[in-house]
Structure 1
Amino acid sequence: MVYAQQDAQFTQYMYNGLYYNPAFSGNHTGYRFSALHRSQWLGYTTSSGNGGAPTTQLVTASGRIPGTSFGWGVSFTNDDIGPATSQEANISLAYHRKIRRGVLSLGVSGGMFSNTIKYDEIDVVNPDPSIPSSGNESQMSANFGAGILYEAPKYYLALSSRHINEPTFDFGENSFDNQLVNHSYLMLGYKIRTFAQVTFDPSILLKSEGFNNFSYDVSVIATYDDRMSGGIAYRGEESLSVLLGYKLLRDKSLRIGYAFDLVMGGNEAKAPTSHEFMLTYNLPTITKKIESIIQRTPRFRF
């Protein structure tokens, strides 16, 4: 039995709430677009020399439906690790309601999850005639998720569940069986403002896979003048990270981010570094303003 990768992991998780939780769909005004590439354990190769270092791409877009309390979101993920590749495409919808000083958001998502096995990259210890030695095989299944988010001026709290239906992928008459188990996420963040145009944003991401395996990410990001940011993060028993970011353009709508991971655990089976690049663009809502213009004529004054 071979277990393909489950959910992808991101060091810049605090900027990718939509991937974990559909309640982030349109939680702010305007439209948000992002693209991320992650090269994990850069340079890692298996004993067979076939590579195998995980690489991940994530593309998202979200916005608010004009004149309503609903937000929309779309996301696409490509995750390649060893002989297995997966693609995930989701559409999400969220309802936002103001409660006291914060906003409560409820979101649901649905889409497709595809798994592919590349047989020519599998190093089999005991060859089985029923298992192909070359070629690829792909399977696709429906995929659903849900989440809740409460966001206040100084903090946010989000709880979500992905792969609620736990789709199963069965390759070649039970030769390879991989169930995409339910993943749950708890994300917390807090904003600390200072008098020197610097804000500190500590956050934590708690992850549960099938309610059996638990892990966590914790980080602190410092931002100067809402433009330049830097921070550190730690992934439990895995890596220590440095995060950098800078907002471009006059309205600070374009942001570029980078994360460097130094692997500290399990080095015997991993390469020592991972790298993550992210680009985000926020398009504000365009509003038309009609101004009253005073016109004067010899007879009338408007």
Structure 2
Amino acid sequence: MRKVLLSLLIVSALAVNAQQDPQFTQNFANKLYNNPGFAGMNGAICATGIVRQQWLGFDGAPKQIVFSGHSPILGKLDIPLLNLGVGLSFSNDVIGQFSINQIKLAIANRFVINNVGTISAGFGLGTQGVSIDGTKFVPSDGIEALGYDPNLLAKASAKDYGFDMDFGLYYRSTDEKIFAGVSMMHITQSQLEGQKDGAQSNKYQVESNLYIMGGYRYPLTPEWELIPSVFVKTEFSTTQFDLNVLGEYKEMLWGGLSYRFQDAVAPMVGYRWNGGKFGVAKIGASYDVNTSKLNKYNSGTVEVFLNYCFKIIPKPKITIHKNPRWL
């Protein structure tokens, strides 16, 4: 019974803010999801998948899946100042009875400034939706003792979708040591209204989220780099601060620690495989140890990502020289 009451308490809290973006620990591997300005910044065709299982051992705990891909537009368009990149992302965030889906198309333009770096500005356009499965309100051991009608709760199912738009800026220095980004997600602040059998259900307000991130690659030795970074997310009522420190060896192995203010401490590890003409693959994992009052109810949070990038080298143009003697 205590577990049921706790589940209802957390679900009720999440229901009020069901449209807030999910949190991730390895945000350095998930930049397109948080910032459409990142599309095409790697100069390669890249695909990323990230899976997060939050609060292990807790029924109805949040689960997140994100798939994304982006690439510069190959070839020259012969249009001044046009250096485009495109991206596509899909996310599914399940929190108990709620399922939140996003599909976004990103398009960005990169501006190269000599001796300064590259600044990219991009828009994200797509849809965001929420669905509620009322059958999941009824736990396996029943809640009749609490005075609820399980048949009524099972009918409380609804879903709706709305238009969504994002904007972001991303910067990388010429020497690729400094990186920073700022983005505003869900600018349209759609209001979703679920309906069932023609009857209006609850309303869900999508809140705008502001993201700010930045970091620096500091060379310690020819083989080692230290990468401190910061990640901030806010919907202007609450703010999440992440402080991260990674140590990278020969651009192949990395490990470090992330601290999320008043929430969790997370060790991180990863491996980078350089396959030459076959591209570059990265795999990383993190484990969040909860530092809030919820730590006694769960066994931590696991997050894993896989990234693969490869460059398509355009074929060189063949120039035919004509001898005037043959004209």
Aligned residue in 1 for 2:4: none
Q: Distance in 2 between matches of 1:126 and 1:108?
A: 49
Per-residue deviation at 1:131? 5.9
- Could you tell me which of 83, 90, 98 is aligned with 2:112? 98
Aligned residue in 1 for 2:209: 183
Q: Please give the secondary structure, in 2, of the residue aligned with 1:19.
A: helix
Quick check: 259-268 or 159-168, which moved more? 259-268
CA contact (8 A) 2:19 2:204 kept: no
- Could you tell me which of 47, 56, 71 is aligned with 1:63? 71
Q: Distance in 2 between matches of 1:138 and 1:217?
A: 32
Q: Distance in 2 between matches of 1:269 and 1:170?
A: 36
CA contact (8 A) 2:101 2:128 kept: yes
Aligned residue in 1 for 2:260: 235
Q: 1:25-64 maps to which residues of 2 (within 5 A)?
A: 25-44=39-58, 51-64=59-72
- Could you tell me which of 186, 189, 201 is aligned with 1:166? 189
Q: Distance in 2 between matches of 1:104 and 1:291?
A: 33
Change beyond 3 A, Cα 1:176–1:290: closer
- Could you tell me which of 218, 221, 230 is aligned with 1:195? 221
Per-residue deviation at 1:42? 1.1
Q: Please give the secondary structure, in 1, of the residue aligned with 2:165.
A: strand
Q: Deviations over 1:62-82 (max 9, x none)?
A: 000012500001000011110
CA contact (8 A) 1:185 1:206 kept: yes
CA contact (8 A) 1:131 1:175 kept: no
Quick check: 216-225 or 242-251, which moved more? 242-251
- Could you tell me which of 102, 114, 125 is aligned with 2:129? 114
Change beyond 3 A, Cα 1:177–1:269: farther
CA contact (8 A) 2:129 2:161 kept: yes
Per-residue deviation at 1:106? 0.6
Q: Please give the secondary structure, in 2, of the residue aligned with 1:147.
A: strand
Matched, 1:86 2:100: yes
Quick check: 114-123 or 33-42, which moved more? 114-123
Q: TM-score by structure 1 length?
A: 0.87
Q: Please give the secondary structure, in 2, of the residue aligned with 1:14.
A: helix
Q: Distance in 1 between matches of 2:96 and 2:129?
A: 16
Change beyond 3 A, Cα 1:126–1:6: farther
CA contact (8 A) 1:27 1:64 kept: yes
Q: Which amino acid aligns with 1:149?
A: Y
Q: Please give the secondary structure, in 2, of the residue aligned with 1:11.
A: coil
Number of residue equivalences: 285
Aligned residue in 2 for 1:218: 243
Change beyond 3 A, Cα 1:108–1:291: closer
Q: Which amino acid aligns with 1:43?
A: G
Quick check: 148-157 or 68-77, which moved more? 148-157
Per-residue deviation at 1:133? 2.4
Q: Deviations over 1:260-290 (max 9, x none)?
A: 1111112267413000111000111223357
Structure 1: which 5+ residue stretches go unaligned? 45-50, 293-302
CA contact (8 A) 2:49 2:68 kept: yes
Q: Deviations over 1:53-111 (max 9, x none)?
A: 11110001000001250000100001111000011000000010012321111100100
Q: 1:124-139 maps to which residues of 2 (within 5 A)?
A: 133-134=154-155, 136-139=157-160
Q: Distance in 1 between matches of 2:117 and 2:220?
A: 21
Aligned residue in 2 for 1:157: 180
- Normalized per residue, which structure has more helix? 2
CA contact (8 A) 2:117 2:172 kept: yes
Identity of aligned residues (%): 26
Q: Which amino acid aligns with 2:41?
A: N
Matched, 1:146 2:173: no
CA contact (8 A) 1:29 1:285 kept: no
Change beyond 3 A, Cα 1:89–1:39: same
Q: CA RMSD in A?
A: 2.3
